Amino acid sequence: MLIKTECLEIGEHTYTVCYYEMTTPRGTHRYSSEIVLGAGDRVILDDDSVSGLGLKLSRVVPLTVCGRLLAARVSPAA
């Protein structure tokens, strides 16, 4: 179930983050987030709390975006 959305600014780009909540078979809650970086390029993370998920996002997504940019620069021309 979608519980919230927010914008995440990385460099000159703004990305929308969708947060989801699910209940496990044991009755506990798990949270996941999805951020679309481009066509067919998504980052999905999960955690036991929304705050933990936000911390993961703040660390992982900027590195992922920078990695994609660097990879695009060094890729051989098609």
pLDDT at 76: 66
Q: What is the pLDDT of residues 15-31, one digit of tens each?
A: 999 999 999 999 999 99
What confidence tier does 13 reach under pLDDT thresholds 50, 70, 90? confident
How many folded domains does the chain comprise?
Answer: 1
Q: What is the pLDDT of residues 28-45, one digit of tens each?
A: 999 999 999 888 889 999
Q: Are 42 and 49 in contact (CB under 8 A)?
A: no
Range of the structural domain that residue 26 is part of: 2-74
pLDDT at 3: 96
pLDDT at 53: 93
